Amino acid sequence: MNPYPKGTLRVAMIGHRFMGAAHSQAWRTAPRFFDLPADIQMSVIVGRDPIAAADAAARLGWREVATDWREVVARDDIDIVDICVPSDLHAPIALAALSAGKHVLCEKPLSNTVDEAVAMAEAAAEARQVGVQALLGFTYRRVPAIQLARSIVARGDLGEIRQTRATYLQDWLADPSAPMSWRLDRSVAGSGALGDLGSHAVDAIQFITDQHVTCVAGALRTFVPTRPWPQGRDHESAEGQVTVDDAAVFVAEMSGGTLATFEATRMATGRKNHLRLEVNGSRGSLLFDLEDLNSLWVYDGRAGSDAGFRRILVTEPTHPYVGAWWPPGHGLGYEHAFSHQVVDFVNAICTGDAVAPDFSDGLQVQRVLEAVERSVDSKGWEAVMS
């Protein structure tokens, strides 16, 4: 039974920078293009700096501004807590929100440690028993072409899945003079490219293949060990210590016997947001590139001498989510997957259906990341704990 039959879900968003802007776009837009079972009220935006938070509220469409997330989470007039802050704060905010009976949307990765992720997954499972939902923001699952790729694999069109490869390449740290940020501090970010980008790659491959990573062998590198502090920051030293990886590479075995390779880096000069996924089966292959996100390339090996990769333009109204948007050929963008995330989350809240990915999925990915780090120390294969 829908507890919000065309009532209102009141949202508080913690954080307002890059991810906060993307989530705000989604909360604003989803109700205008999709027939949702509840209305959305963008009630409160939370930030430490009241001036910056007020500016964000005015630009992004939030009604109120607050500076203390604890007070906001405890409010009776909030139904959903949307967590868009650095990952060291994911656990305390999510745990407090779930304890207060709030539905939670949390950006990835779930947390900085496996122990934190276990606590979050257990709290989410307990809250689920009383109808409280907790969704993890692996947003690329909701790109229509990735949804189609999963369907193609599930139908068996590619045959037995033998190999997969995922590369997630960016270059925003390639310049050694690029300043320090929270993403380069392990105490805040948990890891570097491994958690920031590698978590997306792992989740996408696991989602498409419906297999999970069981063991890994990897390598991590930090190419630039110190970086200048941003202008205006007062520090004792001129440079800060980088305590996370710049690049991660690992090989994996998957539960269905598939061999997988993963690469994540923020140092690939010339690459801006290059997430490339390939799946090879006994009868065919598929290829997806986030920088061409309206396309899926599929190879049918049964076509004989005329075989070749065929481009599917994933903009037909029959494709996942697409019917609510534009006519065929009028492509979607990066921001649309966030709207699809809101659609699925609101529907799950109102129907009681399970959300995916949930916090247990985030815990599993966290265990993969932790196994990669153990393999770096042991210089060998490491099992993903269960």
Instruction: Supply the CATH number for residue 277's domain.
Output: 3.30.360.10
With a cut of 80, say whether residue 121 has pLDDT above it: yes
pLDDT digits (tens, 9 = 90+) for 231-287: 867 777 889 999 999 999 999 999 999 999 999 999 999 999 999 999 999 999 999
Same domain, 231 and 267: yes
Task: Give CA torsion, residues 114, 84, 123, 121, to 10 deg.
Answer: -40
Note the pLDDT of residue 3: 65
Asked, for residue 87, whether it belongs to a domain, the answer is yes
- Residue 302's pLDDT band, with cuts at 50, 70 and 90, is confident
Which residues, in sequence order, are CB contacts of 198 under 8 Å at separation 6+? 168, 248, 250, 262, 264, 369, 372
Note the pLDDT of residue 231: 82
pLDDT digits (tens, 9 = 90+) for 224-238: 999 999 986 777 788
With a cut of 90, say whether residue 6 has pLDDT above it: no
The residue from 114, 140, 166 where one domain ends is 140
pLDDT higher at 66 or 306: 66
Same domain, 110 and 171: no
Same domain, 177 and 272: yes
CATH number for the domain harbouring residue 50 = 3.40.50.720
Same domain, 128 and 188: no
Number of domains in the chain: 2
Same domain, 47 and 153: no
Same domain, 304 and 177: yes
The residue from 140, 163, 181 where one domain ends is 140
- Give the helix/strand (H/E) hosting 299: strand 295-300
The residue from 125, 140, 155 where one domain ends is 140
d(CA 91, CA 69): 13
Note the pLDDT of residue 237: 81
Asked, for residue 347, whether it belongs to a domain, the answer is no
Asked, for residue 69, whether it belongs to a domain, the answer is yes
In whole numbers, what is the pLDDT of the chain averaged over residues? 96
Closest CA relative to residue 243, chosen from 188, 198, 196, 179: 188
Domain interval for residue 136: 8-140
Note the pLDDT of residue 236: 73
Note the pLDDT of residue 5: 55
Which residues, in sequence order, are CB contacts of 170 under 8 Å at separation 6+? 197, 265, 266, 268, 271, 272, 273, 274
Same domain, 136 and 173: no
Same domain, 135 and 193: no
The one-character DSSP state at 358 is: B
Same domain, 214 and 241: yes
pLDDT digits (tens, 9 = 90+) for 133-172: 999 999 999 999 999 999 999 999 999 999 999 999 999 9
Note the pLDDT of residue 324: 98
Q: What is the pTM of this model?
A: 0.96
d(CA 361, CA 367): 10
- Give the amino acid at 55: D
Residue 118 structure tokens: 């276990």
d(CA 265, CA 267): 5
Same domain, 234 and 120: no
- Give the helix/strand (H/E) hosting 105: strand 103-107
Same domain, 102 and 215: no
